[in-house]
Structure 1
């Protein structure tokens, strides 16, 4: 049952990450159309030695309208930008969700701490039923309406609901550890598509630069000397490589920072789930019931012995 629940959790989380990527891919289309509409189709700054030192020259983006790769590069650049922006907003939402989860758990655990503790003369059924009401309350409170977006609630829900009835804490700790390992692996793999886009951008930009040099030299063929022709074509052709390489480096640094923030979020979530929930559950392990059963047996034997002594004393009197 636990393996089935963990497999289901992994499948759902991977599906959500795929949908996240798909949304970024779809959102990039209107972003590119809006972006291209505001980009001039011809160079705004002439290629001179002074212009090469200015930001205005290197910020020109007319090359996106040239050749088959211009619009493709603009699309992939927007996919990477939107992925990072959406991931940032998502991560902020996860920290808020974790705080909301801790608030819910503190309220429920305060109720659990006030429950009546098990007594030696309680039956084994009573021992199991007493904490079950509080445990069921935890599971019910985890059905948050926004759990589709809040990873912490899904994680806590699968930690507790992968097994029927009132589980033992040792089983929960094992499940918690396996879910933690799965989350770290899935969070890391969810960046794979983004990293591939960052690798593709400089390579495709180099091809675009080659296309720009080729198209410009064909245009000026026979009108200028080869040196002048190359000078007029080379520096504008470097715009895609310079711009997209700089963009890839900046996005790569931002993603590295976010990756570490996500690791911090997962570490805090693991600690919070243990401190607020797993360490407070009433039944620590499956051995606890055996100990209680043994104590219950000895208590009944002691009661029987006391009754026999009372009868013997009455008979002697």
Structure 2
């Protein structure tokens, strides 16, 4: 009986995360002072990276061919700033509209209805196959195909409820926003669908066995787990929309937001979340400050 319990306890210890990923244990000297193991390969690699980064930053300041004054003159030009504002507005509109429509298309792809599934598949196939520029041109010139749009008798041109000229409705901005939104929805639907499919089917079965309503199962169980797979790809799409502009700090801000969103949805997969860069910096500052005012402490080795 004793040997069986020992074997089981050993099996539990082997399955623990600390046993799977053991950290290098510190070495205790004869005097009782603890000396941590040094990984010289990491030190050398870190030094090389710091050297290359410092060399590059130094070149940015010293190389005159960059002509930063000329760059600032053109970058802050009124025409550039107006185009930048327009690009950012179109990015926000297309991302929000694209992911809302993409979520609907993803649910249609996952439905048991063959009609809804086929319609969503055809939409994704079409808008991913046609180049984006062609789609925007078609929407902008839609007035040549349909001079008037409105509401009225189906399958006729009798618009007795509402009628409007197409050229006055679909302006340049509306055509660009509509083309970007419909194009983005095709890609967003596949990202969302892949995230939902990544959730283990046992989660759905267990929730159904407990009698949890379908809407609660989807919103409270499936979506939070699927978000771990959706968030990285979704932010790739968002950054891809704005990286064509010359404002790098916008993409940097989005990358920071992505880091914290991914960290939030990783709570269910890790027992203890790794510290954020700010927490690491705060810990390093506190440790360094304490080391300046205190002498190195020694730890006695227990016999």
Larger radius of gyration: 1
Higher relative CO (CA 8 A, sep ≥ 6), structure 1 or 2?
A: 1
* Structure 1 length-normalised TM: 0.22
